[in-house]
Amino acid sequence: MKIAIGSDHGGIHLKNHIKAYLEGKGYEVIDHGTYTEDSCDYPDFAKKVCDDITSGTSGAEKGILVCGTGIGISMAANKCKGIRAAVVADVFSAKMAAEHNNANVICMGERTTGIGIAEMMVDIFLATPFAGGRHQRRIDKIMALEK
Ligand code: RB5
């Protein structure tokens, strides 16, 4: 599975850690930056990752975004058509984001989340299938809000 990943300066260390963690597990990771600690704007990186997913350019179906808190970058991601981004800070929420909400992106905060929890959240998000059924009806209603 290919995973698109991105962050602003506030999330670069956790983003780089998750990239190495996933590559160590055999995933192909498309890193959309940021690549330096210079101050930058998280919407730019949310857009790069989300455009990659929705365009099918790289074949990445899921994405991981990191900023200081995960909040700003999730707000930006959820403005991108076709994206369902969930801010997650615990393992149960990361599982539910996939199982109930069919999230294609999870967002987290480098300043709020330790690497151990981050690794577990990434693992369960990528391993959990969407449950469908009644949840599909709700996802359809979310996506209808884009129109
Ligand atoms: C950058 O300082 C910080 O505001 C950003 O990373 C993020 O936490 C915003 O939601």
Q: Length of the chain, please?
A: 147
Pocket test for ligand 1, best of 7, 8, 9 (most atoms within 8 A of CB): 8
| Residues 30 and 55 sit within 8 Å (Cβ to Cβ) | no
- Tokens linked to 132: 């469908």
* Rounded Cα gap, residues 85 and 101, in angstroms: 9
What's at 46, amino acid-wise?
A
State how far the Cα of 33 lies from the Cα of 48, in Å rounded to an integer: 9
| Tokens (6 digits) for 18 | 């998750």
User: What pLDDT, on the 0 to 100 scale, is given for residue 56?
Assistant: 97
60, burial (CB in 10 Å: exposed 0-12, middle 13-18, buried 19+): buried
Identify the residue whose C-alpha is closest to ligand 1 atom 5.
Answer: 68
Q: For residue 119, how far is its CA from the centre of ligand 1 (angstroms)?
A: 21
| Global pTM exceeds 0.95 | yes
Per-residue pLDDT of the chain (147 residues; tens, 9 = 90+): 999 999 999 999 999 999 999 999 999 999 999 999 999 999 999 999 999 999 999 999 999 999 999 999 999 999 999 999 999 999 999 999 999 999 999 999 999 999 999 999 999 999 999 999 999 999 999 999 999
Residue 106's pLDDT is: 99
Question: By alpha-carbon position, which residue is closest to atom 7 of ligand 1?
Answer: 68
